[in-house]
């Protein structure tokens, strides 16, 4: 397993832990492809909480245009985004 | 409703969503529009049916609050700022245009759908407002288009010439001789063509000038309002704007959202004129032009929501919201007067559900009780919401039957258990405008290491600055005229904005730190606390309107005293 893959797994598990503890949704199993906008990120405050968490946890900086359904679609897309940001900082 | 919106559908997905024709849905949409026409126009006479009031009386329903003198249903749906026809005829034209727009959007191939909506808008606008006003509106948007999307070299001359043609039809005096008019038209065309090709576009090669010009056209409404108010204050003479320009200015919030999309790179720099114009000029703009002007937002929201699901499902969603709109439009007054009677039965004076009347009564030395303040402020909001509910839900329905998955402006605000949710549910599209244009730019730039300052400043930027200046000041001036007095009057309502900012900031910070594992309105032993939270949220939002709707002569001290009476505190 390469370093990138190890990092990816760490980020995935960290994000799953974050969503399950911050926005508990009993009865819903959170997987890599679960639809975040309809299940967890249902309002602006939750999105901003996620933004603050990403910035603090991974040391990345987000901009306004990062707030979109492509990036926040699921754990997989969010992980790809974090990896991309980490590779450019 | 999803805060993040839809993921933009691919062309293949949109074609798939356009593939099934369901004649039942087509008949239902046209049938519902016929019911609207029957209730709100003279169509009953044309098709030899009893008028709505006669029909209602036949079924034993008699209510003077529903019907007007010509035995149709009295309606708050109208065509703003024009008197080409009487209200019933205007509405009939509107329903005919919407029917045609729906059929075009439903049956035409995908690539023609948006263009057809724009064409039906032009026809409707031309008939309802006249050619000159329509062209004037088109001219203003054409200038925005030419500044934001500089055309490729082969199109620069015809597009510049077209700007002159639009300007000529909008502003030039017409003569009797066609040859003279043609010469004037050509003169304006050549003049603006030269202006754009020799001055504007070459100057826009400099980044600073390009950015300045783009901001100038996008902020033209606010700049006009500010300069107009100062001019009136100094010279004593208020500006009168051509109607087409005034109607264009009512798009200022959507233009700002479009500009946000433009600057963020979320839209192509080069788009066709039809693609641009069809964003702003659609049949959904025609009814109650000045109400719910943010519905539709900017570029990406509409792109993401166009044919993002099966067109029949979208149309059914449109039918549903038209049904709700119908209830608001027909029973608005019945419910309002019913509520007033109910409170009066319990000996609580509610001043016709108007805060301004209550303030006037208090300023004149009248006694106002705590229960009156609480009830009147809530009833005034209910009155406003029902007044707007019919119109904004009808607009949303037009977007939906024409293929857009449009979020409702109001989305069951009575289910909100905190101010943040309430803000989203009460005026969704307007809140999006404030969040994207004011909240985000501050939130993503300042105090990244301090949550309290970060949230407070961002909320202040959106709820106080954006809401007051770009929302209420501009709107107030366009409603009541560009007088310095009006400008000052709106600024006097600042306590409302500050209190709302405080309320939302405290709620945001509370929700950041106090995590809840329970969904609101779950049927458990905490259900009653949801009810209490809902009441407190709504009551707070309503009572701060004492500052937003003062009557003339009321001072800040009067409003503060009245506000405190609402909490049972009397300061004499």
- The answer to whether the CB atoms of A65 and B304 lie below 8 A apart is no
pLDDT of residue B5: 66
CB contact under 8 A, A68 and B2: no
pLDDT tens per residue, range B10-53: 999 999 999 999 999 999 999 999 999 999 999 998 888 999 98
d(CA B144, CA B259): 10
pLDDT over 90 at A27, yes or no = no
B2/A38 Cβ within 8 A: yes
pLDDT over 70 (residue A1):
no
> Dihedral angle at the C-alpha atoms of B294, B300, B302, B306, nearest 10 degrees?
-170
- What tokens does B59 get? 């079924």
Closest listed residue to residue B53, CA positions, set B65, B71, B75: B71
φ/ψ of B21, rounded to 5, equals: -95, 125
Least Cα distance to B225 among B243, B250, B244 occurs for B250
Q: Render B475-498 in DSSP notation, one character per residue.
A: HHHHHH-S-HHHHHHHHTTHHHHH
Helix B370-401 × helix B311-345 angle, to 10°? 160
Comparing CA positions, the residue from B444, B339, B250 lying closest to residue B65 is B339
pLDDT in tens, B210-244: 999 999 999 999 999 999 999 999 988 888 899 99
| Closest partner CB to A42 (pick from B3, B436, B511) | B3
Q: Is B229 left (phi over 0), alpha (psi -120 to 50) or beta?
A: alpha
Indicate the Cα dihedral angle B206, B212, B217, B222, nearest 10°: 180
Q: What is the pLDDT of residue B92?
A: 95
Say which of A24, A52, A64 has its CB closest to residue B441: A64
- Cα B271 off chain centre by: 25
ipTM rounded to 2 decimals = 0.87
Minimal Cβ distance to A24: which of B265, B444, B517: B517
Report residue B228: phi and psi, to 5°: -60, -40
Q: Yes or no: say if B315 and B397 are a contact pair by the CB < 8 Å rule.
A: no
Torsion of CA B514, B517, B522, B523, to 10 degrees: -100
Torsion angle defined by CA atoms of residues A24, A30, A35 and A37, in that order, rounded to the nearest 10 degrees: 20
Prediction pTM value: 0.93
Low-confidence ranges of chain B (pLDDT < 70): 1-6, 176-177
Number of residues in chain A: 89
What is the spatial distance between Cα B380 and Cα B544, in angstroms, rounded to a whole number?
12
Q: Within the 469-508 window of chain B, which residues sit less than 8 Å (CB to CB) from chain A?
A: 508
Only one residue has tokens 């503060």, namely B560
How far is residue B144 from each of residues B140, B466, B488, B505, measured CA to CA in Å? 7, 22, 30, 36
B-chain CB neighbours of A37 within 8 Å are: 2-5
d(CA B251, CA B222): 11
- Give the mutation candidate from B4, B427, B438 for the A interface (greatest A CB count, under 10 A): B4
Q: Does residue A3 have a pLDDT over 70? A: no
Measured on CA atoms in the order B365, B369, B373, B376, is the torsion positive or negative?
Answer: negative
pLDDT at B287: 96
């Amino acid at each position: 397993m390469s370093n990138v893959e190890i990092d990816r797994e760490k980020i995935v598990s960290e994000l799953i832990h974050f969503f399950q503890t911050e926005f508990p949704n009993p009865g819903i199993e959170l997987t890599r492809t679960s639809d975040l906008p309809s299940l967890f990120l249902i309002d602006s405050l939750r999105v901003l909480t996620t933004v603050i968490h990403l910035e603090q946890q991974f040391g990345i900086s987000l901009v306004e245009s990062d707030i979109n359904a492509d990036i926040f679609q699921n754990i997989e897309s969010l992980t790809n985004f974090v990896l991309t940001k980490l590779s450019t900082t | 409703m999803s805060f993040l919106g839809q993921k933009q559908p691919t062309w293949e997905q949109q074609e798939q969503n356009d593939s099934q024709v369901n004649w039942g849905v087509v008949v239902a949409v046209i049938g519902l529009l016929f019911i609207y026409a029957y209730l709100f126009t003279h169509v009953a006479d044309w098709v030899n049916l009893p008028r709505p009031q006669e029909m209602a009386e036949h079924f034993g329903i008699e209510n003077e609050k529903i019907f007007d003198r010509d035995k149709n249903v009295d309606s708050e749906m109208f065509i703003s700022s024009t008197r080409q026809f009487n209200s019933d005829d205007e509405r009939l034209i509107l329903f005919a245009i919407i029917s045609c727009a729906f059929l075009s959007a439903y049956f035409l191939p995908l690539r023609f759908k948006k263009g057809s909506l724009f064409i039906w808008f032009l026809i409707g606008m031309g008939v309802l407002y006249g050619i000159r006003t329509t062209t004037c509106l088109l001219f203003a948007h054409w200038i925005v288009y030419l500044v934001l999307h500089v055309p490729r070299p082969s199109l620069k001359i015809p597009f510049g010439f077209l700007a002159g043609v639009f300007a000529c039809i909008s502003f030039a005096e017409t003569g009797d001789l066609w040859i003279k008019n043609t010469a004037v038209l050509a003169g304006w065309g050549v003049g603006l063509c030269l202006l754009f090709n020799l001055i504007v576009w070459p100057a826009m090669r400099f980044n600073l000038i390009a950015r300045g010009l783009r901001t100038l056209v996008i902020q033209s409404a606010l700049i006009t309002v500010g300069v107009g108010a100062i001019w009136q204050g100094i010279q004593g003479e208020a500006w009168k704007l051509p109607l087409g320009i005034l109607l264009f200015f009512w798009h200022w919030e959507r233009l700002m959202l479009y500009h946000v999309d433009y600057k963020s790179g979320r839209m192509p720099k080069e788009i066709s004129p039809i693609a641009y114009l069809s964003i702003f000029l659609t049949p959904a703009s025609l009814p109650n032009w000045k109400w719910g002007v943010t519905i539709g937002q900017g570029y990406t929201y509409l792109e993401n929501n166009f044919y993002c699901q099966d067109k029949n499902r979208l149309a059914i969603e449109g039918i549903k919201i038209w049904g709700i709109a119908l209830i608001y439009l027909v029973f608005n007054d019945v419910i309002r007067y019913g509520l007033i009677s109910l409170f009066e039965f319990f000996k609580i004076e509610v001043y016709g559900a108007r805060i301004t009347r209550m303030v006037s009564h208090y300023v004149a030395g009248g006694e106002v009780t705590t229960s009156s303040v609480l009830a009147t402020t809530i009833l005034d909001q209910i009155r406003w919401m029902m007044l707007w509910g019919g119109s904004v839900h009808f607009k949303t329905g037009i977007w939906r039957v024409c293929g857009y998955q449009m979020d409702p402006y109001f989305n069951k605000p009575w289910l909100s258990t905190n101010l943040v949710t309430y803000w989203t549910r009460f005026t969704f599209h307007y809140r999006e405008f404030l969040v994207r244009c004011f909240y985000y730019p501050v939130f993503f730039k300042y105090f990244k290491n301090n949550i309290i300052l970060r949230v407070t400043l961002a909320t202040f930027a959106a709820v106080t600055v954006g809401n007051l200046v770009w929302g209420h000041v501009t709107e107030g001036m366009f409603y009541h005229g560009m007088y310095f007095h009006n400008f000052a009057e709106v600024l006097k309502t600042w306590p409302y904005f500050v209190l709302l900012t405080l309320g939302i900031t405290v709620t945001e910070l509370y929700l950041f730190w106090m995590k809840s594992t329970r969904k609101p309105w779950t049927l458990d032993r905490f259900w009653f606390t949801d009810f209490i939270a809902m009441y407190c949220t709504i009551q707070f939002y309503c009572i701060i309107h004492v500052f937003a709707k003062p009557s003339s002569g009321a001072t800040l001290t009067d409003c503060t005293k009245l506000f405190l009476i609402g909490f049972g505190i009397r300061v004499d």
